[in-house]
Structure 1
Amino acid sequence: MDFETVMRELEALGKERTKKMYISNGAHDPLFGVATGAMKPIAKKIKINQSLAEELYATGNYDAMYFAGIIADPKAMNESDFDRWMDGAYFYMLSDYVVAVTLSESDIAQDVSDKWIASGNELRMSGGWSCYCWLLGNRKDNEFSESKIFNLLDFVKDTIHDSPERTKSAMNNFLYTVGISYLPLHEKAVETAKEVGIVEVKRGMKKSSFLNAYESIQKEIDRGKLGFKRKYVRC
């Protein structure tokens, strides 16, 4: 399936209601408004195709960029490729759910995430923390340095309330993910989340969100989800 065919198929799947929802979250034209589940049949036909993924991502069309993440070959991408994708990620649904997800299936995921977290750029930081969430929620606990995750928890505790808005949200999610999916530091994450307390995330013209990782962790424990790992990261 070539580039033009994929773009035509995506356009045909677009729905005005979905488009409006994406725009309300920060997307802008060009986009078609394709529900992510509706992309699966096309993805099954293509499977993995990095060169096509690159063409689609370069369009700046949100749906095409999202689909690029589904068919990309993360192991064929190097650090500069991920940086280039992050440069094109103009809002959090791209930085956290396309670029961070794709990065999480590469061998350089932690190294790149560390650089993004230290970058001072809101969406790069958000993408870096989000990548750790995807990693911790999927890979075995022994693939991580316990002291490194411990230090990241302390860093969240010290900086979350003064961080940029989208970064706050991803950091809060990191607290929650360590608390549920990384058993060696479950108790440390719970204690940190308690100390952090409620995190206010301002959302422009919308009402602020108030996040509480401690409560979220407790709810998942009550549901028997402690130690939860996803089988797959990408859909």
Structure 2
Amino acid sequence: MAELTSLADARSREVNEKHGDDHAVNLSRLRALAKRLKTQQELARELWRTGDSAARLLATLICRPKAFDRTELDTMLREARTPKVHDWLVNYVVKKSPHAEDLRTAWSADPDPVVASAGWALTTERVAKKPDGLDLPALLDEIEAKMKRAPDRLQWSMNNCLAQIGIEHADLRGRAIDIGERLQVLKDYPTPPNCTSPYAPVWIAEMVRRQG
């Protein structure tokens, strides 16, 4: 914890706070520390229990994802309220867990929109890598009905799923683009030069173009 504190700097805190995060550690330096520590499951658990965001980010990098049981992961997800901790927990830990599919279905239907956003992130992963067994038209129905009014974090995850369906599944691409155009979600999102807009119709078109 002392070393994490020593890695903090004002510039990182300023940047992180703009994204809703509450730590001041440069992520490149955090990754370098994780590389030095290597995998240490019990240390990861201890770091998570501190409640400190930087410590929790480090925990996601040095843990053994398959060592957590389903209840632990569910509890951790509900404790992870800042965006970066939430995202790293889902992407670096839950996605590698044997409980990922069970949690995907449970979280997607959760009344807490932050928890539900994790379920949709896992669904997006399946759309891209293991779509067999998913009812993609039903997912589009749900996105069409709920995304416009969804809270920000959940809306972002649903939009990612919409775009992924359009990118990966040519037979549903037209409908995905149509939904995006009608809902207009993230159409005016500020996008830096040379970056692709998260607005689904633009995002889908650009990724399909790159695939050639």
Question: What TM-score, normalized to structure 2?
Answer: 0.83
**Structure 1 residue 136: deviation in Å?**
4.7
Q: Aligned match of 2:36 in 33, 45, 58?
A: 45
Cα distance in 2 for residues equivalent to 1:90 and 1:133: 20
- Is the alpha carbon distance of 1:159 and 1:189 closer, same or farther for their aligned partners in structure 2, counting shifts above 3 Å? farther
Q: Aligned match of 2:14 in 1, 20, 28?
A: 20
For residues 74-127 of structure 1, give each alpha carbon's deviation from its aligned partner in whole angstroms, at most 9, with x where no partner exists: 1111111111111211132222x1221110111221210211110111110111
Higher helix share goes to which structure?
A: 2
CA contact 1:100–1:127 (8 Å) conserved in 2 = yes
SS in 2 for 1:199: coil
In the alignment, what sits opposite 1:219? 206
Where does the alignment leave 5 or more consecutive residues of structure 2 unmatched? 190-196
The one-letter amino acid paired with 2:152 is E
CA RMSD of aligned residues (A): 2.5
Where does the alignment leave 5 or more consecutive residues of structure 1 unmatched? 1-6, 204-209, 227-235
The one-letter amino acid paired with 1:177 is Q
Map 1:101-180 to 2 at 5 A.
101=91, 102-137=93-128, 141=129, 143-180=130-167
Equivalent pairs: percent with the same residue? Answer: 24
In the alignment, what sits opposite 1:100? 90
Give the aligned length: 202
In the alignment, what sits opposite 2:193? none
CA contact 2:163–2:204 (8 Å) conserved in 1 = yes
The one-letter amino acid paired with 1:14 is A
Runs of 4+ in 1 over 4 A off after TM superposition: 134-137
Higher RCO (C-alpha under 8 Å, 6+ residues apart): 1
CA contact 1:116–1:124 (8 Å) conserved in 2 = yes
**Structure 1 residue 134: deviation in Å?**
4.2
**Structure 1 residue 189: deviation in Å?**
4.4
Q: Aligned match of 1:64 in 45, 55, 60?
A: 55
Q: Which region of structure 1 is more displaced relative to structure 2, 113-122 or 19-28? A: 19-28
Higher strand share goes to which structure?
A: 1
In the alignment, what sits opposite 2:180? 196
Question: What TM-score, normalized to structure 1?
Answer: 0.76
Cα distance in 2 for residues equivalent to 1:127 and 1:77: 17
